[in-house]
Chain A
Amino acid sequence: MVNPNVQGKKYPETAPYLVGREKIREFANAVFSANPINHDVFAAQAAGYADVVAPPTFAVLIQERSLHTVLADPEADIDFSRVVHGDQRFIHVRPIVAGDELTSILEVASVKSLGAHSMITFNTEVFDAEKNLVATAISTLVVRGGE
């Protein structure tokens, strides 16, 4: 069972993640993106962006970095082998582009129990180097209870 007392707990800011152009291209290829703005610098610049634009779900990489700190937290007591991804949402203030240096702060929004299972929802705020909010990632994990 996830410790319900971690509801509201905020985890420390993650180390900066430098978004690389090739990482965006690699991710874009992996999610079947044919959008030139994800691949081609000139296409991205013609559309008004500084560099290639990350696909809409790219912020999951940043969310993962924050999630690792929670999964390693003995207080939260999450058994990762029993975790199933329940739902996921990304709200963008602006798209992520190559060259961004991103940090994140994760807060445990809620911990609920559903019979033997627990549902834990995280809000991860993603900031750029100027500390402006870029995106919020909201993720719910279902932790299956013991049989």
Chain B
Amino acid sequence: MQGFPDELVAVDLGSAAISMRVDATLYPLDALYGAAYVFLDRCYVLLDRPTPTETRVTLSWKKGEPPEGALRALAGEFANELLSCAWRSKINEENRAMIEAATAQALGGAMGPPSLDDLEKFDFTDEAFEDPLGIAMSWEEKYGKKADGTSATRRGPHKEPK
């Protein structure tokens, strides 16, 4: 078939099928599954392992005779999809530890607020943090009326009523 190495791709026009030999050491089984799954609605897919280092993929046209060039296009698209799946599989494998750590942290955060037992064990002996801007002060403490009836000092611009 034009554009493909003869030792890798074989066409069987009689049964409207194309066979590809794939190096199993380059393309893991997960990648083959992923690529094959995408083509299930378009053709009949059969995988086989003639030797331990080789996987054979057979794609058969579903209905009638395939149009001119259809089998070649099918083989090309499958090869591209297989490469894409193999690459995704490799990325997934390399990032597995990071994904697991992030998932564990997310699940830990979703466990909810601490229980009374957890709070009982918590160490509150640390000194209070400094708050020079009064951010931790409540609204009543900051702007509320004082005991003598005057309001507390407001910060920022203040306009007298007309």
Task: Determine if chain A interacts with chain B.
Answer: no
Q: Which residues of A contact B (CB under 8 A)?
A: none
